[in-house]
Amino acid sequence: MAAIRGPSAHFLAAFLPVARASLFPQSQPITKRIPLRQRLRTSLLPAVLLPIPSLLGDIWNGILNAVPKKKTSHMKKRHRQLASGKHLKDVTALNKCSSCGRTKRAHVLCPYCVASMYHDNASGVTICNGGLTRSS
């Protein structure tokens, strides 16, 4: 019977740059096995010899079939987004601002008053202890 031999280095050199490395670990005396890299050296199995394409064949077909084939139309997208229970609801909790009198959302600062505070602060008005003072 013929002995089982690994692939030749010339055959693997065309596919992998690692083919120049030895395929099987070299047996060395115990005194030379002290470094960790030499102790853990294992055989290198090139990807060409593994049956990966046969394992991934069924998975690959499923991935290709899961990709959308056409762009979803604007109408279908809007129907999905605005389905029952998902549409934008009207804001019913509205109050009047106590300082300026404009309509604002309940439990939220009035955006007009906040903007005027930033404008006044930039023009030299400072807020101290809840009161406004003009700085010179």
Q: What's the pLDDT tens digit per position in 43-86?
A: 545 555 555 666 666 777 777 777 788 899 999 998 888 888 87
Conformational region of residue 16, where left means phi above 0, alpha means psi within -120 to 50, and beta covers everything else: beta
Residue showing tokens 């999905």: 80
**C-alpha–C-alpha distance, residues 46 and 83, integer Å:** 53
Helices (H), the chain: 9-13, 36-39, 52-65, 74-81, 111-122
Q: What's the pLDDT tens digit per position in 9-54?
A: 555 566 555 544 555 555 555 555 555 555 555 554 555 555 566 6
Q: What's the pLDDT tens digit per position in 81-131?
A: 888 887 778 899 999 999 999 999 999 999 999 998 888 777 766 655 455
**C-alpha–C-alpha distance, residues 4 and 13, integer Å:** 20
Phi (first) and psi of residue 94, to 5 degrees: -120, 140
Sequence-ordered list of residues with C-beta below 8 angstroms from that of 7, at least 6 positions apart, any chain: 23, 46, 48, 49
First vs last C-alpha separation in the chain: 105
Residue ranges of domains in the chain: 97-134
